[in-house]
Amino acid sequence: MFTTVLIANRGEIALRVLRTCREMGVRTVVAHSTVDRDSPAVRQADESVQIGPASPRRSYLNPAAIIAAAQQTGADAIHPGYGFLSESPEFAEICQAHGITLIGPPAGVIARLGDKVSARAFAAEARLPLLPGGTGPAEGVSDAARTAAAVGYPVVLKASAGGGGRAMTVVHDPGDLARAYAATRQEATALFGDPRVYVEKYLDAARHVEVQILADAHGEVLHLGARDCSVQRRRQKLIEETAPPNLPAATVEHLGELSVRAARAAGYVGAGTFEYVLDEHGACHFIEVNCRLQVEHPITEMVTGIDLVREQLLAAAGQRLSFRQADITPTGVAIECRVNAEDPARGFLPTPGLVEEFVPPGGPFTRVDTHAAAGTRITADYDPLLAKISVWAPTRAQALARADRALGELVVRGQGVCTNVAFLREVLTHPLFRYAKHTTSLVEQMMSTPMH
Amino acid sequence: MFTTVLIANRGEIALRVLRTCREMGVRTVVAHSTVDRDSPAVRQADESVQIGPASPRRSYLNPAAIIAAAQQTGADAIHPGYGFLSESPEFAEICQAHGITLIGPPAGVIARLGDKVSARAFAAEARLPLLPGGTGPAEGVSDAARTAAAVGYPVVLKASAGGGGRAMTVVHDPGDLARAYAATRQEATALFGDPRVYVEKYLDAARHVEVQILADAHGEVLHLGARDCSVQRRRQKLIEETAPPNLPAATVEHLGELSVRAARAAGYVGAGTFEYVLDEHGACHFIEVNCRLQVEHPITEMVTGIDLVREQLLAAAGQRLSFRQADITPTGVAIECRVNAEDPARGFLPTPGLVEEFVPPGGPFTRVDTHAAAGTRITADYDPLLAKISVWAPTRAQALARADRALGELVVRGQGVCTNVAFLREVLTHPLFRYAKHTTSLVEQMMSTPMH
Amino acid sequence: MTPETTGEDEREQVLDWVVRHTALLGSAGQAPLRRITVSTATLAIDVQWSPPPGPAPGVGGQHDTGHAHPLEFAGAPPDTTAGTRSTGGTVLVTAPMVGTFYRAREPGAPPFVQVGDLVEAGQQVGVIEAMKLMNAVQAEHAGRVSEIVAEDGTPVQYEEPLLALVPCDAH
Amino acid sequence: MTPETTGEDEREQVLDWVVRHTALLGSAGQAPLRRITVSTATLAIDVQWSPPPGPAPGVGGQHDTGHAHPLEFAGAPPDTTAGTRSTGGTVLVTAPMVGTFYRAREPGAPPFVQVGDLVEAGQQVGVIEAMKLMNAVQAEHAGRVSEIVAEDGTPVQYEEPLLALVPCDAH
């Protein structure tokens, strides 16, 4: 096992990783920007290194700064959390070149699965069900138009190097394709320095279901069931749930097996997520692989009892998985609600400010992952995630009631700070959600009703 | 199911009960004293009634005030929490006379099992293993001396009406018996208005193990495994753990069966706890029944997935248990640490004061039950329990590490407020505790070593 | 299925009731209606009126529905020991216990005191019933009754104001 | 499936009800209706009227970018852009990045600057190595070196003080 792990992230996920490291007796170093110097992860770390200014490009996205910090503190491994450098094959290679273990899959696997076009090619090879679309990046607007016409509108244009729902444009009308193509290329260049864009069939009313997999460096791969992440705003998840409601266990099992087989074929190591969309007929289509810990991993932990960060560390250290597929029997229902500092009434605009009062929920089967406390300043430099409130219950009805109860307990007050708690509670009571008939368009449907 | 439940308690347990009521869609009324008027339970309740001044005798221990509050607010049931009126057969009868359901076993059962002498008689009838001792209250000091000589020293003198470790005196030397007898009678009269005292063999190095049972009103009784509560200071529990470490599963199963059989014989309804001591040879001896929810119930919830307050409400409403003994398979290890506002260095003296900063732990498999937050005033009127920090893990070693990690995260700061957190962490790392060789004398052993 | 049917019937009844009575509720509060919440299985209704214009209720962190606090009287420090609080020139006689407040010994009997009456320290000014027991409410100080605050036959909480006196020495 | 059907029927009933009664509810409150929320399985209805006009809670709020305050030195305004901070009469040259600080171009070579040296704005005063890359540290202001704060060959964090200058204009 590692002696010292450097955590190259911030917010709740830095704290999350730190917690497990501490429990495993592993020394922690937290690399942080100037604005995060008083964060709980920094305060609790065995050591901390200030690696740059608030701007992520000069701190959390700066490989040189992170490697220097790791070397200064004798860290033998780096945990990248999610976002930032967590899915950068270049960073994975740099770590390797410096003799530091990056906790995640090998650089080659990230390179292959992280790029959306090569992931599509890989998925085709691994016989994962794919959405109709181009076999590679569009070779120009007329190639894109040909593909779009072939698969049928609506289509989505996606940056090949993209992720996190950015540089993605849905096109319903052939007349809009040319403009959308140009805009997406421009955005892709600006965001990822890579103009490649590809065309894929777009599903209007889809469910987003993902499979959590776990693999060791000895070829053993297994899955921990699936999560439904259909409640999204601006293509970012708001509420996640496991097991996916109203989805036959056989479908979950089928997706699990597909994902495990593909992960084994890819030489995957560590924790990863295979994402799928399900159309209204229940047909599954692979969309992408996330080569990292997922924001919503706590709900999988709650139904399986498995600490995913612990398994990440063990796998990265070369240890064999200590359980088999047959040992994993997810129990009950877990739901995570992401509490953001944002204003749903103004298009979910982030609301930075100073948190003056913060009282998290507690009690039975309630888990809180947060870096917030009285005195926390929410800055515009980073994403507005304030807290993840996760609950477990034996049944979905009880889990929904529990999530609503927990959200009702949460107190976040401070000048300028606004949260989406009331909106989350609206989702929980929405009939489509209650009856598990919702798709990724739920939030839009809710926002477009004049009642709100 | 009930429409409205009145919660006749305070602190974390009022909040605990409120949480489940809310999740079940049951309206809540919190009865509170003047000093508790700004407590979280009062703030979160659907309604609240101020029933008296800080002094428990005029508020939480005052049946007339609680009944009046229930009638004013249309409550059809009262949850007494633990302590206060939770084990008063008189209060149970008063509730019944007023057509209000007291959430707990019937008055007759509380009367029979709550009195320690009649509980001993009942246990003998139910063939529970008993510690050697008198068959009834001592009829005078010479009767007490005869019993003591017969069972052999050390012995313990206990108030027949006692509980919570109060009015109990251990006597090691026959020469001390007369004085101890008089003192215990006096204390018993002062505390419980009942001078009866009985004599029982005392085990110096014992483990305290208790069985959680659950019974419906239709004769179905089952157990949810056992908890080890050997870490005590001044006969009050500090750390509880399930499953009991180093205890053969067969012993737990045996104690479970004994308890279920006895509870069925007694006509028990609701949640209850059968307490036992285990001597150094592993022999089990019944000591008492707690006819209420236990402070340490969260750890049983964590290993079984069963919400005990929910089951209490369902049982009190006459519903049948929805699972059988075979459905209950406790998984993993859960540990609860009681964080008190007290100073271990000064004999665990309570330290009232104002909490100015309060940051609870969070993250994986960590549960917090607390009424504390920034601004909470800890008064000398009530017990000094600030928070219960409970953790779960697949193995005991991981659970110990997790408990230590969670305690390390907790921040409680405020003028005058001192906590036992450092002491709890010392217990967690103590070799006797780590190797599960500890008995109820662990804290005394620790306090007598000069290291502290 | 029977429970289903019962549930539907009940829900319809509840809805009917709300509609029929909303107008009534609207005129019941002095402030305009702000919100009605109905939730069933088996029934909880929450009706809220707008807060009166003006400074919000003091004592930070008041809950939406948190009506249960005794009315705050400006400048009156909470006094947890006595059944009396003073506010400006008057002294409040407050409930010594939770229960139902009666102004007279029994229905039909004359009230213990009326506005304008002079009472002596220790004089009974009302009665509070809890668990069928009648508990005398006594004035702690002598004074002239200036207002009856709590209505006859209403539930009161501990320390809720019952009536106001102008102390004798203030004359 | 039967439960499905029941559910749909119920939803339709509830929707019907809302449509039929909204007008009635609308005229019940004095203030305009603001919101009706219905959620079922099995039924929760929430009707809200607008709050009475009055000063709304301040929404605008200030947008605080609050980034990157360097260590506060008495009286020094935070300067987030430069690797320079002033304290009293001296100015600190701080690390522009995390890495290893070297006072000379290579082992054995003379240091870029010594205490007492006069440096010009933009002059290299040291080097920071990160990932085998040597990054020049330059003085932002002209001045005389009054102290070498960071030792040669030691790891430094971002914005850690490296050396102190007395600015030229302070002479």
Q: Which residues of A touch D129 (CB under 8 A)?
A: 68
pLDDT exceeds cutoff 90 at C6 = no
pLDDT at D36 over 70: no
Q: Is pLDDT of C156 > 90?
A: yes
Number of residues assigned to chain A: 452
Q: Where are the domains of chain C?
A: 79-167
- Is residue A25 domain-shared with residue A166, that is, in the same domain? no
CATH number at residue B336: 3.30.470.20
Q: What percent of chain A has pLDDT over 70?
A: 99
pLDDT over threshold 70, residue B445: yes
Q: Which listed residue (B10, B292, B338, B402) is catalytic?
A: B292
Overall domain count for chain A: 3
Is residue A115, in this structure, part of any structural domain at all? no
Closest residue to C158, CB basis, from B38, B44, B51: B51
Model pLDDT for residues B230-268, shown as the tens digit of each residue = 999 988 899 999 999 999 999 999 999 999 999 999 999
Please report the pLDDT score of residue B406 as a whole number.
Answer: 98
Q: Is B363 left (phi over 0), alpha (psi -120 to 50) or beta?
A: left
Q: How many residues does chain D have?
A: 171
Residues A248 and A139 in one domain: no
| From D6, D27, D49, residue closest to C35, measured CB to CB | D49
| Same domain, residue pair B146 and B281 | no
State the CATH architecture for C79-167: Beta Barrel (2.40)
Assess whether pLDDT exceeds 60 at residue A305.
Answer: yes
Domain of residue B45 covers 4-102
**High-pLDDT (> 90) share of chain B, %:** 90
Cβ–Cβ below 8 Å for C81 and B53? yes
Query: Is the same domain home to B149 and B94?
Result: no
Interface check for D33 against chain C (CB to CB < 8 A): the answer is no
* Residue C134 sits at the chain B interface (C-beta within 8 Å): no
In this structure, is residue B26 part of a structural domain?
yes
Q: How far is A22 from chain B (nearest CA, A)?
A: 7
Assigned domain for A376 exists: yes
Alpha-carbon gap, residue B185 to A326, rounded angstroms: 60
In a domain, A257, yes or no: yes
Asked if B264 is an interface residue toward chain A (Cβ–Cβ < 8 A), one would say: no
Radius of gyration of chain C (CA): 21
Residue B107: inside a domain, yes or no?
A: no
CB contact under 8 A, B51 and C157: yes
Question: Where is the domain boundary, B179, B201, B223?
Answer: B201
Give D114-164 pLDDT, tens digit per residue. Answer: 999 999 999 999 999 998 889 999 999 899 999 999 999 999 999 999 999
Cα(C47)–Cα(D38) distance, integer angstroms: 16
B249 and B191, same domain (yes or no)? no
Chain-wide mean pLDDT for chain A? 95
* Residue bearing the bigger pLDDT, B36 or C27: B36
Confidence of residue C57 (pLDDT cuts 50, 70, 90): very low
C20 Cβ under 8 Å from any chain B Cβ: no
Instruction: Identify the pLDDT of residue C17.
Output: 60
Mean pLDDT of B295-311: 98
Residue that wins the pLDDT comparison between C137 and D5: C137
Q: Interior CA angle at B146 toward B144 and B148, to 5°?
A: 70
- Indicate whether B161 pLDDT > 50: yes
| Nearest CB to A20 within list B362, B364, B409 | B364
pLDDT band for A336, please (50, 70, 90 cuts). very high
Strands (DSSP E) found in A62-164 = 77-79, 101-102, 155-163
Q: Count of CB contacts below 8 A, A vs D?
A: 105
CB contact under 8 A, A53 and D11: no
Judge whether residue D39 has pLDDT over 60: no
Residues in chain B: 452
In a domain, B108, yes or no: no
* A19 assigned to some structural domain: yes
Q: Are A20 and B331 a contacting pair at CB < 8 A?
A: no
Cβ–Cβ gap D158/A381 under 8 Å: no
- Please tell me which of the candidates B15, B23, B367 has its beta carbon nearest to residue A402: B23
In this predicted structure, the answer to whether residue A164 has a pLDDT above a threshold of 70 is no
D4 has pLDDT over 80? no
On the question of pLDDT at A200 being above 70, the answer is yes
* The pLDDT of residue C42: 43
Judged by a CB distance cut-off of 8 A, whether residue C36 touches chain D is: yes
Are residues B180 and B226 located together in one domain of the fold? no
C157, C160, C162: best mutation site toward chain B, by most B Cβ within 10 Å?
Answer: C157
pLDDT of residue B450: 54
Band of residue C37 on the pLDDT scale cut at 50, 70, 90: low
Q: How much is the pLDDT for D64?
A: 32
For residue A11, pLDDT beyond 80? yes
User: What CATH number is given to the structural domain containing B140?
Assistant: 3.30.1490.20
Average pLDDT (B336-354) is: 94
Where is mean pLDDT largest: A12-21, C22-31, C67-76, D101-110? Answer: A12-21
Q: Which residues contact residue C50 at a Cβ distance below 8 angstroms, ignoring those fewer than 6 apart?
A: C31, C32, C33, C34, D31, D49, D51, D52
CB contact at 8 A, B315 and B215: yes
Q: What is the spatial distance between Cα B431 and Cα B437, in angstroms, rounded to a whole number?
A: 8
**Domain end marker among B153, B185, B201:** B201
Instruction: Provide, as residue numbers in chain B, all residues whose Cβ is less than 8 Å from the Cβ of A25.
Output: 401
Residue-wise pLDDT for A338-393, tens only, equals 999 999 999 999 999 999 999 999 999 999 999 999 999 999 999 999 999 999 99
Q: Cβ separation of C34 and D30 shorter than 8 Å?
A: no
What is the model's pLDDT at position D132? 87
C32 and D29 within 8 Å at the Cβ level: the answer is yes
**Cβ-based contacts of C25 with chain D (< 8 Å):** 28
Neighbour-count burial of C108, counting CB atoms closer than 10 A to its CB (0-12 exposed, 13-18 middle, 19+ buried): exposed
Pick from D21, D43, D51: which is nearest to C39 by CB? D43
Is A331 found in the same domain as A379?
Answer: yes
Give one DSSP letter per residue of B307-346, joined into a string.
-HHHHHHHHHTTPPPSS-GGG----SEEEEEEEESEEGGG
* CB pair distance less than 8 Å for C159 and B47: no
| Structural domain ending residue among the three candidates B86, B102, B118 | B102
Q: Does residue B120 lie within any of the structural domains?
A: no
Most C CBs within 10 Å, among D42, D46, D48, to test the C interface = D42
Q: Domain check: are B211 and B197 in the same one?
A: no
